[in-house]
Amino acid sequence: MSNVCSISFEQGCWFKGERKIRGVGDKLVKKPSSSMSFSVSASSSEKKDIRIGLFGASGYTGAEIVRLLANHPHFGVTLMTADRKAGQSMDSVFPHLRAQKLPRLISVKDADFSTVDAVFCCLPHGTTQEIIKGLPTALKIVDLSADFRLRDIAEYEEWYGQPHKAVELQKEVVYGLTELLREDIRKARLVANPGCYPTSVQLPLVPLLKANLIKYENIIIDAKSGVSGAGRGAKEANLYSEIAEGISSYGVTRHRHVPEIEQGLSDVIQSKVTVSFTPHLMPMIRGMQSTIYVEMAPGVRTEDLHQQLKSSYEDEEFVKVLEEGVVPRTHNVRGSNYCFMNVFPDRIPGRAIIISVIDNLVKGASGQALQNLNIMLGLPETTGLLHQPLFP
């Protein structure tokens, strides 16, 4: 009896314990309807079924996607671009990926989009809009840049210093904060993957605002990130001698993630939210912590905030609300797609302190992007993402 079976994944989101099986043959099947069906072979020796294109493969987020996809049973990378590294092999750019069989890096202009079913865009801010605008409309796309995160075109120009180059396309974009917008992501063609800071901030704040347990005024966010969040480009400020044995604030009052955070929080209460947000660069490679100070609604206790977060995320794999009194640490999510959070009473009556930690390269970028594409293609969203955190 053959050990090969076929599994058909319909458009939609599956949760733990759910499974659908249907024989559809051994080759990729594309339907003219909004659903997409893929045959999945149980044989590990056969090629993966869903062909992935990766733009900007020579950056940290691109390399992280490749690392995660090594353990994905259905996604295989068939196209990789990196203009400055065109012609090189991926293992010459990232030796830690040597064990994988990957295509050579090519320039974007040489990319053949007929060879892929879905695309991750890991290009720098300001370069993605025109490229995505020129892609075939049949492709599923997750963009990890900031180019499609802000719905307000004028606000994008204000914060990023250039006009938006794909205004019509912006209208169909879905913001990809997975746990909070899963239903919209499932039906999307183009998803704007959230920034790392906005992910760590919105995951705890949105459920509390939605339940009217905290006030939307006077929210203070003190956030800290490892240096990988600044990208791989050579910058004087990121030299070892500049960052080691010290902490530095940056983007004070003008960090580009501010409008993204305020957009998400404002959507919840249908009124303009303004936050105080200050990020800091820490002398570590990975990790992000957001310490958030909030004012509770009258009569609300920190125990109520904790219970609301627990009930909001009790069925979520990747968001964990810790037991009362346990302080989240970046060490405990390193290398994983998890977000750990907790709530503490402030010494100031009526106020609470929320601590949220993620790995900025995984849940803050590439991991959440993979989680979103899983949903967009009807796969269980945890597929390829159940790596446990690295410790020590």
Tell me which residue of 197, 249, 235, 228 sits closest to 363, measured CA to CA: 197
What are 164's two structure tokens?
Answer: 């938006």
Nearest one of 339, 212, 195 to 258, comparing CA atoms: 195
Q: How far apart are CA 280 and CA 288, in angstroms?
A: 10
C-alpha to C-alpha distance for 76 and 47, rounded to whole angstroms = 8
Q: What b/e sequence results for 291-318 when a residue is b if at least 16 CB atoms lie within 10 Å of its CB, and e otherwise? A: bbbbbbeeebebebbbbbbbebbeebbb
| CB burial of residue 153 (10 Å; 0-12, 13-18, 19+) | middle
Q: How far apart are CA 215 and CA 295, in angstroms?
A: 6
Which residue's entry shows tokens 């993630």?
Answer: 257
Distance CA 392, CA 384 (A): 22
User: Which residues participate in catalysis according to the annotation?
Assistant: 196
CA dihedral 29, 31, 37, 40 (to 10 degrees): 0
